[in-house]
A = this chain, B = another copy of it.
């Protein structure tokens, strides 16, 4: 029997889930993998205030030195989140030749490259499946399962909170505020949901996916990021009549030496499986060469979803040597890759104006769009009301974001247009 001593740092929801899952599956893991994982030490600053009934014989500590300095510990599970002191813990554990399992998206998106290099140097595993989409095997598929491919694009619904809110708005007709309240009530949104709903959580995860797909280190703050707070119930209703669903999509595409890296609400055609990814489910759609489109989906958050990813990582590192081939050299290939500015990115757009309903309105709006080189694919104006502003909905052909922005600024100045125009990008048809 292969015995592996584990030090667990961070005993929150996921940490407790890992302890429970390892205990529940103890016999199964022993029988099937000839391995016993022994949780030797659990570290958490508040460990003495926590419910530790699931921890059996492990030493409890508030000092992570007790783990990184323990020569008997083979693997460190880091679940405290955030950059510091997680980075110090991981660096010191690797230097002490301990394998690492982490679910820390901030750490990997910020310092992944550096940590992979260190892990390679120390001949240690560094697994991080649960950092994106919890236990959905996205990382494993990108680094191993699909390794015979090159990646051309990554399209992800990778924030469960936003997906839940948009699903509630779509299915129940809720406003954003109502749906957010519902998400908080069900535990799908934090009391301060800012990082989820402003898209930054998705951007951090996208940075990890971009590194794995293209070998390029990009900061979340260098991406174009737009959250879901401005999505109106009326737009969700209008797009549903056009056979689209609104999702917060994290997008990375490579064309020649440029990468697009952006997070924003996106219209997805209802016959694309991504449009059916609802509630707190996550999905990542990979555009691979030569395999084509690959979709991976499942529950991307929650205690046991994340714990299952951590335990999968643990089992995968047991009994095999690190494969120095994976992760290595990747970053040498694409050093000249540049990020394409959002201004230059081309999209098709859904646009909506509230305009006075009188003859010549469409001609005026269409005229400005035409002058900016933007073709209109369809126009919809369902309501007619001579006395007040009515919605005018248009779908455009491809245009750069700059062209659209300039056109919208001019349109907004028309006296017949009564509110700020709404523009939502449309996902290209890949599937």
Contacts and interface: CB of A to CB of B under 8 A. Distances in A.
Contact of A325 (B137, B293, B296, B318): B318
Contact of A298 (B25, B31, B292): B292
A288 interface: yes
A309 interface: yes
Nearest to A27: B333
Contacts of A330: 32
Contacts of A316: 144, 147
Interface string A303-314: 011011111111
Nearest to A275: B276
Contacts of A135: 146, 148-149, 288, 291
Contacts of A145: 129, 137, 140-141, 145, 312
A319 interface: yes
A231 interface: no
Interface in A282-335: 283, 288, 290-299, 304-305, 307-316, 318-325, 328-330, 332-333
A134 to B, nearest CB: 8
A148 to B, nearest CB: 3
A426 interface: no
B305 A31 contact: no
Interface residues of A, number: 67
A239 interface: no
Contacts of A34: 324-325, 328-329
Nearest to A318: B325
A85 interface: no
A133 to B, nearest CB: 10
Nearest to A320: B323
Contacts of A310: 148
Interface in A12-46: 21, 25, 28, 31-35
Contacts of A311: 148
Interface string A136-154: 1100110011111110000
A2 B325 CA distance: 10
A77 B129 CA distance: 30
A113 to B, nearest CB: 14
A201 to B, nearest CB: 20
A271 interface: yes
Interface in A317-361: 318-325, 328-330, 332-333
A52 interface: no
Contacts of A333: 28, 31-32
Contacts of A312: 144-149
Contact of A137 (B146, B318, B328, B329): B146
A272 interface: yes
Nearest to A324: B319
A93 B322 CA distance: 26
A309 B21 contact: no
Interface string A145-180: 111111000000000000000000000000000000
19 contacts: A2-B325, A25-B148, A32-B333, A34-B325, A135-B146, A136-B291, A140-B145, A144-B316, A145-B145, A146-B308, A148-B308, A148-B310, A288-B298, A290-B307, A291-B299, A291-B308, A292-B298, A292-B305, A320-B321
Given A25-B148, A33-B329, A141-B145, 16 more contacts: A28-B333, A32-B325, A32-B330, A134-B291, A137-B140, A145-B145, A146-B308, A146-B312, A148-B311, A273-B273, A273-B276, A288-B308, A293-B298, A293-B299, A295-B296, A320-B320
Q: Which 3 A-B pairs have the closest CB atoms?
A: A137-B145, A148-B311, A148-B312
